[in-house]
Chains A and B, each alone.
Chain A
Amino acid sequence: MTAQLTPRNIAIFVLLAALVLLPLYTGLSGNRFMLTLFTRIVILALAAVSLNLMLGYGGMMSFGHAAYLGIGGYAVGILAHEGIASGFVQWPAALAASALFALVIGALSLRTRGVYFIMITFAFAQMAYYICAGIARYGGDDGLTIYKRSEFVAPVNLSNKVQFYYICLALLLAAIYLVWRLVNSRFGMVIQGARSNDVRMRAIGFPTYRYKLVCFVVAGTLCGLSGALLANHNDFVSPSIMYWTRSGDLIIMVVLGGMGTLFGPVFGAVALLVFEELLPTLIKLLGTPMFGEQAARASEYWQIVMGPLLLLVVLFARGGIDGLLRKLSKERA
């Protein structure tokens, strides 16, 4: 693949450069909130990348992907609570627990199709939510404070905000590279074939169930990693980390950014979360001259603006942000 100077490639390059240089800006300007916001964005982008592997490439519409965020997060939180702070134990435990959960859920839910698949993944995620909300020892509904971030050997120190940001970013890029290799391999061809036409795949000799199950497990494990990062980032984990609206957010990121594209989920995560941050302020700013006090109150309902915007993307920009960039690239060529 030769890199051409298309608007799409330029956008990807600018996005990556901005993400890499961001701590420089926040360091100089002293805007620490921005670093916190973007650490969160990078972590959730990793979750969106993992969902995109199964949803965008594999056509498996999981509506319970946030469950793995919770399992990864709780693995870190519970071990920290029990006095095991080593990241060399916590992180593998988070990955293993998510992988195991994905294996069981995948094995059951992949026997169904369509709406049933959506509902069964949703149901399992809600089950995980209520189980965590019910365990009094680990805070129940109120969640679990993590007093000490995962410990690795010096000089790695997750409490250093800049260092932690770069670790998250490096893991995100590694995940994108992994997905890129996976989807173009023989395995990836099978996954994409099954998305396109599952009956035909089986007719030409592929037992698609087991390939989809492996894809399901890889996606769940990656999302578990994202959960371990999120718990460290928040110094806290609670059931709300895996509430069903979070699963919805992840789907929105993937659809908004462009399903089945490498960088789409990153675009989607940045767009959704930055928008979420800016929209209330924007409504207040634009609305106050016209509506005065009313606008301040209206800004709390920023989702009323967000909803129709999403609708527009789905209706008119099929392929999401990546699709738009691709169209621009083609028109130029």
Chain B
Amino acid sequence: MSEPLLTVDHLGKRFGGIVATDDLSLSVAPGELHAVIGPNGAGKTTLIAQLSGQLTPDTGRIHFAGSDITTLPMYRRSALGLARSFQITSLFLDLSVLDNVALAVQAHAGHSFRFWRDARSEPELRDPARAALTRAGLRDRAELPASLLSHGEHRQLELAMALAGSPRMLLLDEPMAGLGPEESARMVEMLRALKGELTILLVEHDMEAVFALADRITVLVYGSAIASGNPAEIRANAAVREAYLGEAEATHV
């Protein structure tokens, strides 16, 4: 196996008495789609927040593409090619759909201390933005205010924005959250198309989607990894069945 793109080493994060991340280690190889699953409160979103730089871990290191990014601020990680989508849709609702993606392109086009030229007529920003919108299936929504899109379309827009910076790795925080079955299926197809081209770390509740997409799965319980392996191994793992899948089936059925 080649050198991993992302390595998480003995990561720890506590909030008062609550251990959100407990001595967690995992690695993601280039091109891999690595899913992180776990019951509610297992620390999945906290993990994503630490990977993207929104939270700083108390202990442990994070390496991305050979450099230590443990204490880098969000925007520097993003500049290195680590893009994040949000679990709770986080968009620029009062700007147009195209403006949303163009901002994501602009973030990777050097500094923005350019005060005179009309940014909305710059092909360097608009063309890649339109391309990303097309890939995310939103081409004909470009001129609408982002606030007018449906929930499913917001998810697609999130994806388009993550793609717009031509990242090396995507951190996707529950991209299927709140989607209907049809929208969910469309999102799975889109992620399948991106797989291989991009390295993806996917945090997701939708088991069907996870097992359909993931190359490797890490199972989190109370902040620590109880198992890691390919989908077949995870399905067969007794500890996982007991701690998570069994419980999930019991509550879902």
Interface on A for B, CB 8 Å cutoff? 181-182, 184-190, 192-193, 196-197, 199-207, 211, 214
Contact segment of B13-21, B115-123, B225-233, B238-246: B115-123
B95 close to chain A: CB less than 8 A: yes
In the complex where A185-B119, A187-B115, A190-B106 touch, is A196 in contact with B95 (Cβ < 8 A)? yes
Cβ distance B67 to chain A, nearest Cβ, rounded Å: 16
Cβ distance A54 to chain B, nearest Cβ, rounded Å: 15
Contact segment of B22-30, B72-80, B133-141: B72-80
Cβ distance A180 to chain B, nearest Cβ, rounded Å: 10
B54–A187 touching, CB < 8 Å: no
Q: Report A-chain residues with C-beta under 8 Å of the C-beta of B74.
A: 202-203, 205
Q: Report A-chain residues with C-beta under 8 Å of the C-beta of B113.
A: 186-187, 211, 214
Q: Chain A's interface: helix, strand, loop or mixed, by majority?
A: helix
Count, chain B residues at interface, CB 8 A? 36
Cβ distance B94 to chain A, nearest Cβ, rounded Å: 5
- A185, A200, A203, A214 pick with most chain B CB within 10 angstroms: A203
B84 close to chain A: CB less than 8 A: yes
Bound together, the chains give a CA A184 to CA B114 distance in angstroms of: 10
Bound together, the chains give a CA A193 to CA B86 distance in angstroms of: 16
Which residue of chain B has the shortest Cβ distance to A192 in the bound complex? Answer: B95
Bound together, the chains give a CA A161 to CA B84 distance in angstroms of: 59
Extra pairs beyond A187-B113, A203-B90, A204-B75 (9, CB < 8 Å): A184-B120, A185-B118, A186-B114, A187-B114, A189-B112, A193-B103, A197-B92, A203-B54, A204-B165
B116–A181 touching, CB < 8 Å: yes
A207–B115 touching, CB < 8 Å: no
Which residue of chain B has the shortest Cβ distance to A207 in the bound complex? Answer: B75
Bound together, the chains give a CA A193 to CA B119 distance in angstroms of: 13
12 contacts across the A-B interface (CB closer than 8 A): A181-B116, A187-B112, A187-B113, A192-B95, A197-B90, A199-B90, A203-B74, A203-B75, A204-B78, A204-B83, A205-B74, A205-B107
